[in-house]
A and B are shown apart, each in its own frame.
Chain A
Amino acid sequence: MDVELPEQEVLAARGPGGHPLEIWISYVLRIGVLTAGAVILFGLVLYLIEGPGSGRPTTLDQLTADGGQPIEVSWQSIVDGLKTLEPSAIILLGLLLLILTPLSRVAMTLILFILQQDWIFVAITGAVLGILVIGLIGVGS
């Protein structure tokens, strides 16, 4: 049966556990930023204590020569660096987690729209998620 809800009720539509949609989105964002921030901080502290690690400039002149050079980065290099607790690899992992935070927020929103059976917004949110995933893995690597 198709029931038209008044505007107010549509917006206050509840997610799982009786929480309003907004609270869930808010949690995802907060947890994402805090986790990413903690990982980046850990990596940076390690960098300052142990030094740059292999493959990174050890002096300021090297780092800033010609305004600085782009780095070689791949999944493989990050995974390898993490195995040996390379500070730069830990920082890169934290930065990736930060980039993934808005993605998780969109994924969360998608689930909530599916639960509400709001198919127009399931399609819109799914498309945004697709664009973000392509941006993250498709275009760059």
Chain B
Amino acid sequence: MLTLFIAGIFLAAVGAGLLGALVGLGGGILIVPLLTIGFGLDIRLAIGASIVSVIATSSGAAAAYVRDHLTNVRVAMFLELATSLGAITGALVATHLNPRVLFFLFGFILLFSIVPMIRKLGEEIPANVTNDALAVRMKLASYYPDRALGRDVSYEVTRVPLGFGMMYIAGIVSGLLGIGSGALKVLAMDTAMRLPLKVSSATSNFMIGVTAAASAGIYFWRGDILPEIAAPVALGVLAGATIGARMLVRFRNATVRRIFIVVLGIVSVEMLLRGLGIT
């Protein structure tokens, strides 16, 4: 039975990683609902298993994006100051919270992450953006090769302090709930700092690993990362994400997105209800 249970977790994690990769959200957001609602585990242990799987998928994907020069390493490094501090804050706060509060917050963040999937945020390449003082000082402006346009696109970076503040919150959410909080990170870079969408997505992915690593150590030494659960989750999500990245070219994005939105909607309501103590 124990072996079957572990095999079940592995297969579910493959599915989560696959679906996550197909819509570009990372599978992390599905792991906690799967382990709690699906496998009846304590939400703290689910968060512990999820946070290490987030490191695995983010690092795998980041390796590819960095090579393609889509990631702005300087912007990422600077904002990681905020996300890593936030993540430690979140992980420390999480122990003092009632599990029901965690369920509720998770459901709420899930609902929130659906919004950008329905309505695409910002412009593909923002116009009329001028570097602010910090961006000039730290030389944050850069360029990226746009394959669709067939040329290099240069861009400037603005409202750096606002983006930094939003990143601290994204870090707290990541450390608190064991997710990458990619949606919040993209929001900070896209709407506040006005980076091109492709750069925001790649840079967000790059930062997720560092953010997750900041809180993962705390969960690890606290004993919330159980080997027999974290191992199938990490390997499963990694396998699923790898397969998903290969399948991406053959799938119609819109269809997958629609399925994913429905799944996320159902899951978030379920998590909210648990938070309210209704189910």
User: With A105-B209, A124-B81 in contact, do A68 and B56 touch (Cβ < 8 Å)?
Assistant: no
The 10 sampled A-B contact pairs (Cβ below 8 Å) are A22-B71, A29-B62, A29-B63, A56-B227, A60-B1, A67-B43, A91-B227, A131-B84, A140-B222, A141-B221
Query: How large, as a class, is the contact surface on chain A?
Result: 35 or more
Q: Do A25 and B73 touch across chains, with their CB atoms under 8 A apart?
A: yes
In B210-251, the 8 Å CB interface with A consists of 210, 212-232, 234-235, 238
Interface of B, helix, strand, loop or mixed by DSSP: helix
Q: Do A7 and B238 touch across chains, with their CB atoms under 8 A apart?
A: no
In B44-103, the 8 Å CB interface with A consists of 44-45, 52, 55-56, 59-60, 62-64, 66-67, 69, 71, 73-74, 77-78, 80-81, 84-85, 87-88, 91-92
A64: B residues at CB distance < 8 A: 5, 39-41
Instruction: Answer yes or no: A114 CB below 8 A from chain B CBs.
Output: no
Q: Do B142 and A11 touch across chains, with their CB atoms under 8 A apart?
A: yes
| Chain A residues within 8 Å of B, Cβ to Cβ | 7-8, 10-11, 21-23, 25-27, 29-30, 32-33, 36-37, 40-41, 43-44, 47-48, 52, 56-60, 63-64, 66-68, 70-74, 87-88, 91-92, 94-96, 98-103, 105-106, 109, 120-121, 124-125, 127-128, 131-132, 134-137, 139-141
User: With A23-B67, A63-B2 in contact, do A132 and B222 touch (Cβ < 8 Å)?
Assistant: no
| Chain B residues within 8 Å of A, Cβ to Cβ | 1-3, 5-6, 39-45, 52, 55-56, 59-60, 62-64, 66-67, 69, 71, 73-74, 77-78, 80-81, 84-85, 87-88, 91-92, 137-139, 141-143, 154, 209-210, 212-232, 234-235, 238
